[in-house]
Amino acid sequence: MNTDLETKVQYLKGVGPVKSKAFVNLGITTVYDLLTHYPRRYEDRSVVTKLSEAKVGETETISGILINVTEHNPRRGLKLLKALVNDGSGFLQITWFNQPFVKKNLKIGRRIFATGKVNYAYGGQGQFEMNPIIDYEVAEEQAEDTHKILPVYMATDALPQKFLRKLIEQVLDESIKIPENLPKHLQLEYQLMDRKDAMYKIHFPTTMEEMTKARYRLAFEELYLIQCGLLVLKKQSRDKQKGIRHLMNSTLLKKVLHKIPFKLTTDQKLVLEEIYHDMESSLPMRRLIQGDVGSGKTIVSVLALVKTIENGYQGALMAPTEILAEQHLASFTNLLDSCGIRIGFLSGKLTKKNREVTLEKIAAGEVDLVIGTHALIQEAVQFKNLGLVVTDEQHRFGIRQRALLEEKGQLMPDVLVMTATPIPRTMTLTVYGDLDVSVIKQLPPGRKPIRTFVRTSSKRDLIYQFVKAEIAKGRQAYVVCPLIEMSETLNVQSATEVYEELTGGIFRDIECGLVHGKLSSKEKEKIMLEFHAGTIKLLVATTVIEVGVNVPNASIMVIEGADRFGLAQLHQLRGRIGRGQYQSYCILISQGKSAVAKERLGIMEKTNSGFALAEEDLKLRGPGQFFGSMQHGLADLKIADVLNDLDILLKARDAALKTLASVDDLRYILEILSLQYKDQFMKITDN
């Protein structure tokens, strides 16, 4: 059988239809997926630590012969598996906790390679023991791979390391066709190895230097192709689509500006100038506003929407949650209703009749501004003349969702994207390479910096006494419980337990509310309105209040289980307070004992800057966890690391810009993108 990158893995020798199902769990369906299932790390078996030289407290890689294997059940629920290893210089005991299935792999007399933390052995054989185990492998009888650099993959019980190595090597040795996807002159200019060579050496390098060169080539390729895709999207929307020129300046904008009860900050004015410059151009605007929580992005978007309306077009604002969409509806109506601007609302909870009436008005041009949730991108929604699309909290939408809303205009509407999650400079090109970026860092004048404290759970009674004292002064408070991703039910129980504990104890005489993701939209809305009105003094909530909720009188927030949140999310939550004239306090209750956990939360005490926190969060958590849903809609990065590969990213961006200037290169790359990233860059392949 001729094997190519599109061949399904089930047709490979040794796989078949049954085993192929196990590959799906690893995101592997084709040979291309298999070959881009890159090693997580490497085990250099030519560099192992002698057992006599193993250091207590250090993570070591050792190699030795299995002498003895025993099982122990010291207490109910605990099973220990112990293997004694000898390498000629000493003995070491390897211990597995509650992993009895490992025993079948441990053959006496075979060589074992293991990586893990070395400790003193207590009550066992040998002076030292190794646990926890990071990785282990028992060599074949011939032990032919004793002195190799071995790849270590994300594996499963059904697809162990050995099987994956053997299968990948089998595919690469079958003279598989791996077509080159970079122009030859780029390979020469950036000193990149051949793609097929790189693919082999990333899996089976003979030296670590060889692996580094292979990784550089593949990371460059990945970042370059994504940059090409984003830049082509940007070029197509500007060059091929006729934009709207918003040239009219009537009295409407002046009316709205007069109604705003505060002065715009310097940053807001500068960003507004950039937006108006884009809107007055014949090219479609594609602009991202990055603004810290509470920096006033929303009012900037209002003034942009007013500009499109006074030019005779409709505006649309899409929010990620019903709570935020409803909040925008209330605040926009309060500001714009008296100026004669007709506002419509679309969400999943509208009655059929109300929805039909609203859709008719939008299509007839009888609504100037439509605010809504994902309901805005449904096929039934048709605008008469859409001029500006604003998406709020962009990281919750993908490129596709944004494109669906953009395509509802007869002409190409302008697009404004807002995010309150500051994105580190190293990541902006990768996440938003198709957008121009504006930044609002200044907070409105008169706001007092939020004071943040990290406390252990032993101080909970004192913390809630402080909260009660603040409520007695007329303030309101949030208590946030962590979202437990593995079980939404557990999440609700956690919030419910805290609510019952507080309302049955110290806050029994205070009006409290509970809001979480399991409530209906109507129930959530009722509670949030009561909190906004000041009827509810203390609100126990999950992270449903993370985005956009604005209650100026709320001046204190307690975050239970703060260790479970990333810095960016903690900062978003903290941004719900500090919006009024009163001193605000954020108290993080930590149960973390590790140095990393303490360092992470300590950063929250030191700064209120979302941009500084985003940089630290990226360093501490790594790009994979940091991205979360922000990367939704873009190609997943399989090998590049936006934290550590900034130099490669900048070179890849430079190469992509050169490609756009070359007709031949562009034609070549569009063909590659249509094959490799069709789902992510659908607009490219459709043109």
464-510 pLDDT tens trace = 999 999 999 999 999 998 854 334 444 444 788 899 999 999 999 99
**Both tokens of residue 116?**
């893990």
CA distance 254 to 258: 6
Average pLDDT score over residue span 605-609? 87
CA distance 470 to 493: 27
Name the nearest CA neighbour of 231 among 646, 670, 686, 678.
Answer: 670
**How high is the pLDDT of residue 371?**
95
- Answer yes or no: is pLDDT of 633 > 50: no
The better pLDDT of the pair 321, 537 is held by: 537
309, 369 in Cβ contact below 8 A?
A: yes
- Answer yes or no: is pLDDT of 428 > 90: no
CA distance 512 to 535: 9
Name the nearest CA neighbour of 330 among 478, 557, 519, 551.
Answer: 551
**How high is the pLDDT of residue 679?**
56
**How high is the pLDDT of residue 487?**
43
194-236 pLDDT tens trace = 999 999 999 999 999 999 999 999 999 999 988 888 788 777 7
Average pLDDT score over residue span 632-643? 64
Helix H or strand E segment including 344: strand 343-346
CB burial string 618-631: b at 16+ within 10 A, e below: bebbebeebbeebb
Phi and psi at 369, nearest 5°, equal -135, 125
For the chain, the first-to-last Cα distance in angstroms comes to 35
The better pLDDT of the pair 1, 341 is held by: 341
257-271 pLDDT tens trace = 889 988 999 999 999
pLDDT cut 70: percent of the chain above it = 84
Domains delineated in the chain: 47-146 (2.40.50.140), 251-280+296-419 (3.40.50.300), 451-607 (3.40.50.300)
Helix (H, G, I), strand (E, B) or coil at 174: coil
Q: Which residue in this structure is represented by tokens 């094997």?
A: 3
**What is the average pLDDT value for the chain, to the nearest integer?**
83
Q: Is the dihedral of CA 52, 58, 63, 64 positive or negative?
A: positive
517-562 pLDDT tens trace = 788 878 888 898 899 899 999 999 988 776 657 789 999 999 998 8
**How high is the pLDDT of residue 125?**
54
CB burial string 211-250: b at 16+ within 10 A, e below: bebbbbbbbbbbbbbbbbbbbbbbebbbeeeebbebeeee
Q: How is the chain split among helix, strand and coil, in percent rounded to 5? A: 45, 20, 35
pLDDT category of residue 621 using cuts at 50, 70 and 90: low
**How high is the pLDDT of residue 591?**
78
pLDDT category of residue 649 using cuts at 50, 70 and 90: confident
**Both tokens of residue 420?**
């309150």
pLDDT category of residue 619 using cuts at 50, 70 and 90: low
The better pLDDT of the pair 134, 146 is held by: 134
- Which range has the worst mean pLDDT, 73-82, 113-122, 180-189? 113-122
**Both tokens of residue 535?**
């009827």
